[in-house]
Structure 1
Amino acid sequence: MADRKSFQTALIHSDYRAPEGFAAFPAPIHHASTVLFENVAALRSRNWQDKTSYTYGLHGTPTTFTLEARLAEIEGGEHCVLAPSGLAAIAMVDFALLKTGDDVLIPDNVYNPNRELGRWLAQDFGVSARFYDPMIGAGIADLIQPGTRLIWTEAPGSVSMEVPDIPAICKVAQARRAAGQEIHVAIDNTWSAGIAFRAFDHGVDIVMQALTKYQSGASDVLMGAVIVRDKALLHRLELAHMRIGFGVSADDTYLVLRGLPSMKLRFDAHDAGARKVAAWLKTRPEIARVLHPAFEDCPGHETWKRDFTGAGGLFSVVFDEQYVEEQTDRFVDSLQLFKIGYSWGGSNSLCVPYRIQSMRKQWSGKGQLVRFNIGLEDPDDLIADVEQALSALRPA
């Protein structure tokens, strides 16, 4: 090739290479769809499932590999695969492990998009999706069929806050696997962020996280992760990841990496603030129940006390049944510091009313349910905000 390149070619091909030796705390951001190979032999020899090298941006860059490794370490796992959202991570698990004729068990208090995905699998893909009492524990043995391949769990339920006995469910699945049945337990561990509940240590096979929450911490990223210890499970997840075409952006990956060093500090602050606000709400005559796993009257509290080390910022309340939906909606609308929106784990406090009776087959309560995410504001200011909004419950 001639030494002198045209101006246009020079814009694309430069001889400059930055010197080696630059070091800084942040992980570098590698923007790439196309990965370059030194020669044809390198192109043909690389395996996209082998994370010791690179093949295409969708299968990983140094930036995404770094986040995957750190998330696996946080959870006590070995391998991690990223997805564009928490729901995408759930879908990746389902499509990796289920096929027509298989059966999946899903707790009745599950994150509602997971419920809808189960219904879609049953309707259009010939997968049997059955919903079980989240407090069933070892009784799950009575529900497992020969074709049951996957048991979803969520600890606790992210709206109604029941804490399931995960070790009991896992022991049943392990016994079935020892007897020759292919069956795995997956958990949505987003509520605890992998900080307050060590899922693998309690027998779980697959951990799913919505990195949208505490890991990023700023309400500005959509991302999910699936973490495993078993390499055979990893390969099945990687195939589903490739076939669906899941990818995450380098910039979003960097934002999650940036949030990890402060995650434990933020989680503990959310936890302390939430307990203070929840304890105050427990004294209010308008509130019939406070659904917070750290409180003795929350379903599964003893299990939480045994297996968890913290609680984060998310809990729900049930209003006295004298208050109708119109009144509790007015309460939510009257809040000033609390904003109306889904999700949790960010700095800003949130509040959402749920029509829990229509969501849950096994819900027996009559009062209106409202979920709170306690952010990083001063909890005394949040209590004052709730107190002024409670006046909206009273008829004008």
Structure 2
Amino acid sequence: MQKKKNCTKNYHTDTRLITTGRPTEDHACFVNPPVIHASTVLFESTDHLYSGKAKYSYGRRGTPTTNALCDALTDLEGAAGTVLTPSGLAACSLALLSACKSGDHVLITDSVYEPTRNFAAQVLTPMGVDVEYYDPRIGGEINELLRPNTSAIFTESPGSQTFEMQDIPAIVEAAHARDILVLLDNTWATPLFFDSMGHGIDITIQAGTKYIVGHSDVMLGTISANERAWSRLYEVHGAMGYHVGPDDVYLALRGLRTMSVRLKQHQASAMALAKWLQARPEVDRVLYPALESDPGHAIWKRDFTGACGLLGFVLRDCSQKQAFAFIDALELFGLGYSWGGFESLVTYVDPRGYRTATTWDEPGRLLRLHIGLEDADDLKADLEKGFAALVTPR
């Protein structure tokens, strides 16, 4: 939970992932930082304690273990500082709390991760924040929704279930003209595939549970902020008492080192599966911005350098019962929440129940896939079992 240091920006990204966040002063000659379990920090004297000169004050406010991960992420994001939270949802929630107060107006994309929407309804609205949802494809026209008391715009590109791409530069330009903060849930792309700070984002968020950790065994959230937003974020983080255990931080650091090679494989397999699904007669359309046929492809191609393993597809002329039969026939695709691990996953999605600024009018049934690190041909064969199961009566 420190400001930026150990910067490796002169190296290529793959090299930076290996070298960043490894300050030698805290762990001598060891490759990995120590896993320090600590609450109390002992001081040499009253002067050492009360002068504010000590590097560490209390386990909750940082150890060599947590600082190594924060420093690495701050470097990779090009940020002023980074804090950690116990989950991706906690990161979204804390970032919003740091960017608004009672009486403020906050804009949130209608394609937002649904638990973030629930936080807004259960916490922000009761505390006096006016929350308004907007069409994710609004672009620069978001200017028409801005008010004198608008304090923040929460973006997510692409949307976590319906994959709409947002014109982030246009939204940033409109917001910054009125001194409004722009937040981004960048879990899908990570800083490897979308340079959020370089595109003007003030606060960037990741569910580190996904691609940073990469092995489906840790809950983690990360928030990085620029100079403008950092001080307030750090204050609110401390006031909320957030802390992530050292063993989880260690696993996140370990995952970070291989994130680039994993993402490249996720992307290659996802593109292969997306093109294969697109050619299936049972599929109405595939939701994956890296596909040329995707409505958001032009924005993705302009602003992004890659795509991850998360995509969706709409089954044509299909009932919910048939969609469930499709899912139940699969063997390699696990049925479960989250994504970003080494394994492939599938979930049934119905956005009709929560949209407020837009509508989801697809007549078919939407399934979301996370394409893991299995062989792509094996995954295709598994999906064939699902398509065969569609003969189930409606």
Give the TM-score, by structure 1 length: 0.90
Q: Which of 364, 373, 376 lines up with 2:370 in the alignment? A: 373
Q: Hey, what's the Cα distance between the residues in 2 that align with 1:299 and 1:36?
A: 57
Specify the alignment match of 1:382 in structure 2: 379
Following TM superposition, by how much is the alpha carbon of 1:188 offset from its aligned partner in structure 2, in angstroms?
0.3
Q: Hey, what's the Cα distance between the residues in 2 that align with 1:92 and 1:122?
A: 11
Deviations 1:283-322 (A, max 9, x none): 11111010000112323110001001100100000111x2
Q: Hey, what's the Cα distance between the residues in 2 that align with 1:169 and 1:364?
A: 25
Specify the alignment match of 1:68 in structure 2: 70
Specify the alignment match of 1:339 in structure 2: 334
Specify the alignment match of 2:195 in structure 1: 198
Alignment of 1:31-50 (within 5 A): 31-46=37-52
Alignment of 1:1-396 (within 5 A): 23-46=29-52, 53-177=55-179, 183-230=180-227, 232-320=228-316, 322-361=317-356, 362=358, 363-395=360-392
Following TM superposition, by how much is the alpha carbon of 1:187 offset from its aligned partner in structure 2, in angstroms?
0.2
Q: Hey, what's the Cα distance between the residues in 1 that align with 2:28 and 2:194?
A: 37
Deviations 1:161-187 (A, max 9, x none): 11100000000111112xxxxx10000
Rate the CA distance shift 1:21–1:27 in 2: closer, same or farther, 3 A. closer
Q: Hey, what's the Cα distance between the residues in 2 that align with 1:99 and 1:269?
A: 42
Q: Hey, what's the Cα distance between the residues in 2 that align with 1:60 and 1:150?
A: 28
Deviations 1:53-109 (A, max 9, x none): 111111100111110010111122231011111111111112212111111100000
Are the counterparts in 1 of residues 325 and 392 from structure 2 also a CA contact under 8 Å? no
Q: Hey, what's the Cα distance between the residues in 1 that align with 2:159 and 2:265?
A: 21
Rate the CA distance shift 1:21–1:170 in 2: closer, same or farther, 3 A. closer
Q: Hey, what's the Cα distance between the residues in 1 that align with 2:124 and 2:235?
A: 22
Are the counterparts in 1 of residues 27 and 34 from structure 2 also a CA contact under 8 Å? no
Q: Specify the code of the residue in structure 2 equivalent to 1:88.
A: A
Say what the alpha-carbon RMSD is for the aligned residues: 1.4
Rate the CA distance shift 1:122–1:60 in 2: closer, same or farther, 3 A. closer
Specify the alignment match of 1:13 in structure 2: none
| Greater gyration radius | 1
Q: Specify the code of the residue in structure 2 equivalent to 1:90.
A: C
Specify the alignment match of 2:7 in structure 1: none
Are the counterparts in 2 of residues 121 and 129 from structure 1 also a CA contact under 8 Å? no
Give the TM-score, by structure 2 length: 0.90
Q: Hey, what's the Cα distance between the residues in 1 that align with 2:166 and 2:371?
A: 23
Q: Hey, what's the Cα distance between the residues in 2 that align with 1:209 and 1:126?
A: 26
Rate the CA distance shift 1:21–1:93 in 2: closer, same or farther, 3 A. closer
Q: Secondary structure at 2:346's aligned position in 1? A: strand
- Structure 2 residue runs of 5 or longer lacking an equivalent are 1-25
Following TM superposition, by how much is the alpha carbon of 1:335 offset from its aligned partner in structure 2, in angstroms?
0.6
Q: Secondary structure at 1:194's aligned position in 2? A: helix
Are the counterparts in 1 of residues 27 and 33 from structure 2 also a CA contact under 8 Å? no
Deviations 1:250-279 (A, max 9, x none): 000000001111100000000000000111
Deviations 1:179-236 (A, max 9, x none): xxxx100000000111110011111111011110111110001111110121x52221
Q: Specify the code of the residue in structure 1 equivalent to 2:378.
A: D
Q: Hey, what's the Cα distance between the residues in 2 that align with 1:235 and 1:108?
A: 29
Q: Specify the code of the residue in structure 1 equivalent to 2:342.
A: S
Q: Secondary structure at 1:176's aligned position in 2? A: coil
Are the counterparts in 2 of residues 27 and 257 from structure 1 also a CA contact under 8 Å? no
Are the counterparts in 1 of residues 125 and 131 from structure 2 also a CA contact under 8 Å? no
Q: Hey, what's the Cα distance between the residues in 1 that align with 2:138 and 2:350?
A: 23
Are the counterparts in 2 of residues 161 and 298 from structure 1 also a CA contact under 8 Å? no
Q: Specify the code of the residue in structure 2 equivalent to 1:191.
A: W
Q: Specify the code of the residue in structure 2 equivalent to 1:243.
A: A
Q: Hey, what's the Cα distance between the residues in 2 that align with 1:124 and 1:327?
A: 40
Are the counterparts in 2 of residues 316 and 370 from structure 1 also a CA contact under 8 Å? yes
Q: Hey, what's the Cα distance between the residues in 1 that align with 2:104 and 2:193?
A: 32
Q: Specify the code of the residue in structure 2 equivalent to 1:287.
A: V
Q: Specify the code of the residue in structure 2 equivalent to 1:128.
A: D
Are the counterparts in 2 of residues 78 and 228 from structure 1 also a CA contact under 8 Å? yes
- Structure 1 residue runs of 5 or longer lacking an equivalent are 1-19, 178-182
Q: Secondary structure at 2:178's aligned position in 1? A: helix
Q: Hey, what's the Cα distance between the residues in 1 that align with 2:67 and 2:344?
A: 32
Rate the CA distance shift 1:298–1:254 in 2: closer, same or farther, 3 A. same
Q: Hey, what's the Cα distance between the residues in 1 that align with 2:166 and 2:27?
A: 50
Q: Hey, what's the Cα distance between the residues in 1 that align with 2:200 and 2:97?
A: 22
Rate the CA distance shift 1:21–1:122 in 2: closer, same or farther, 3 A. closer
Are the counterparts in 2 of residues 162 and 298 from structure 1 also a CA contact under 8 Å? no
